[in-house]
Chain A
Amino acid sequence: MISLYLPERTWLHGIPAGWKLIALALVSLAVAPSDNLPLMTGLVAAVLALYVSLGRAALTQIALLRPMWPLFLILLAFHWWRGDVALGVVILLRILAMVLLANAVTMTTRMDAMMDAVEPLLRPLALIGVAPRAVALAVAMMIRFVPLLFALWEALNESYRARTGKRGGWRLLAPFCIQTLRMSHHTAEALAARGGAPRGDRR
């Protein structure tokens, strides 16, 4: 499974996931109301320094921001038009810093460590009859479904091409949905045959 996680170990990998999440939340709360240009510039510089300290692999991840440039330009254009470019720049810097900072947490935390860190937050769900283990099962099933669905789509696309010589595109969506639903019935039967999904304490 593809992941944004950096396999190469850095110092940030060593910090527990919970601490990183709390730090991220605190920073985001702290900077949300501020529109101080030097402060935001400093924050972006600090985040970039963090990336430098994580090494080359982390720096290449900054390229993930590329799809956001059009949106940044539109935001800036609106602020320009309103005659408040400075505010626009501050807002862009804030978005940039927070996105990069949040990505740094994602890059250096394994998905299972993240799951363990949020698990205590899921515990109250047991009160309404949802077992935290059922949530974990749903997460695992979903991640497992993604490559299966890709394979299914490819198979449908191949047969469509064999019949028509063209790519199927959106025409495949309806057969795709029917096939996936059939697959989900089989999965549900297999799950039931193995004792069913974990249930909450209430039942």
Chain B
Amino acid sequence: MKDRSLVQIALYAAIFAVLGLLPRFDLPVAGGVPITAQSMGAMLAGVMLGAWRGALSIVLLLFVVALGAPLLAGGRGGLGVFFTPSVGFIFGWIAVAFTAGWLMQVLRRAPVFPAALIAAVVGGIVVMYAFGIAGMSLVGGLTLREATLACLVFIPGDAIKAVLVALIAQTVARGMPEALLSRNA
């Protein structure tokens, strides 16, 4: 593994943590559902780094969380988070980053904004909720339909995050094109 990849994997894991820990980083969401910016970190890692590096940066983050660092939103962390009903989302982030990164690489000839939006929506909403709902249903003892209902309130927030990720990707592509590793790897 190249040094730069290793550093960037660590960097995006740290960005993921910072997104969850920043105080009052509120997203405007209908319904007053409290939303953390954190799951954006998984989409960002994928969109910016590509499939494998993106997924590895989330694996690294989860590893450090399991070692005992409270790096998830609201200062949660430690082994406890892996036993909550949200565990599906937590492991889902790995798949989110992988899918988003893979789509970015597939769509490398498309303009950045639509490509990143598609990657973020498919990865950050379709894939994430597939994992999240499965986890909620397994740990919480709900049927898949009930678990889906319980998760629905969060989808508007994630749609906003997907748009933000696409905007960020576009800005970075303009300001520092070589940083969009998913495109020039």
Residues of A within 8 A of B (CB): 1-5, 24, 28, 64, 67-68, 71, 74-75, 78-79, 82, 87-88, 91, 95, 98-100, 102-103, 105-107, 109-111, 114-115, 118, 129-130, 134-135, 137-139, 141-143, 145-146, 148-150, 153, 167, 169-170, 173-175, 177-178, 180-185, 187-188, 191-192, 196-197, 199
Are B64 and A177 neighbours in the complex by a CB distance under 8 Å?
Answer: no
Say which residue of A79, A118, A188 sits within 8 Å of B141 (CB atoms): A79
> Does residue B130 face the partner (Cβ distance < 8 Å to A)?
no
The residues of A that contact B179 with a CB separation of less than 8 Å are: 177-178, 181
Pairs across A and B, CB under 8 Å, 22 listed: A64-B80, A67-B76, A75-B150, A91-B140, A102-B79, A103-B79, A103-B80, A107-B78, A114-B68, A138-B9, A139-B67, A141-B7, A142-B10, A143-B14, A170-B37, A173-B168, A174-B167, A177-B15, A178-B176, A178-B179, A184-B11, A199-B1
Say which residue of B69, B84, B86, B167 sits within 8 Å of A1 (CB atoms): B69
The residues of B that contact A91 with a CB separation of less than 8 Å are: 139-141
Docked pose: A174 CA to B164 CA in angstroms: 9
Are A180 and B70 neighbours in the complex by a CB distance under 8 Å?
Answer: no
The residues of B that contact A75 with a CB separation of less than 8 Å are: 85, 140-142, 150
Identify which of B63, B69, B167 gathers the most chain A CB atoms within 10 Å of its CB.
B69
Closest chain B residue, CB of each to CB of A115? B67
Residues of B within 8 A of A (CB): 1, 3-4, 6-11, 13-15, 17-18, 21-22, 24-27, 37, 44, 48, 60-61, 63-64, 66-71, 74-86, 139-142, 146, 149-150, 164, 167-168, 171-172, 175-176, 179
Docked pose: A74 CA to B22 CA in angstroms: 27
Are B60 and A68 neighbours in the complex by a CB distance under 8 Å?
Answer: no
Are B69 and A111 neighbours in the complex by a CB distance under 8 Å?
Answer: yes
Given contacts A74-B150, A184-B8, contact A95 B70 (CB under 8 A): no
Docked pose: A28 CA to B87 CA in angstroms: 14
Are A181 and B11 neighbours in the complex by a CB distance under 8 Å?
Answer: yes
Say which residue of A130, A150, A174 sits within 8 Å of B175 (CB atoms): A174
The residues of A that contact B24 with a CB separation of less than 8 Å are: 167
Please give the distance in Å from A101's CB to the nearest CB on chain B. Answer: 8
Say which residue of A3, A24, A184 sits within 8 Å of B70 (CB atoms): A3
Docked pose: A162 CA to B24 CA in angstroms: 19
Closest chain A residue, CB of each to CB of B26? A169
The residues of B that contact A2 with a CB separation of less than 8 Å are: 69-70, 75
The residues of A that contact B83 with a CB separation of less than 8 Å are: 28, 95, 98-99, 102
Identify which of B6, B14, B21, B80 gathers the most chain A CB atoms within 10 Å of its CB.
B80
Are B3 and A188 neighbours in the complex by a CB distance under 8 Å?
Answer: yes
Closest chain B residue, CB of each to CB of A179? B176
Are A129 and B1 neighbours in the complex by a CB distance under 8 Å?
Answer: yes
Docked pose: A88 CA to B86 CA in angstroms: 16
Please give the distance in Å from A19's CB to the nearest CB on chain B. Answer: 14
Given contacts A2-B70, A87-B141, A170-B27, contact A139 B78 (CB under 8 A): no
Closest chain A residue, CB of each to CB of B40? A173
The residues of B that contact A134 with a CB separation of less than 8 Å are: 1, 6
The residues of B that contact A110 with a CB separation of less than 8 Å are: 68
Given contacts A68-B84, A174-B167, contact A145 B1 (CB under 8 A): no
Say which residue of A5, A98, A118, A146 sits within 8 Å of B14 (CB atoms): A146
Please give the distance in Å from B133's CB to the nearest CB on chain A. Answer: 13
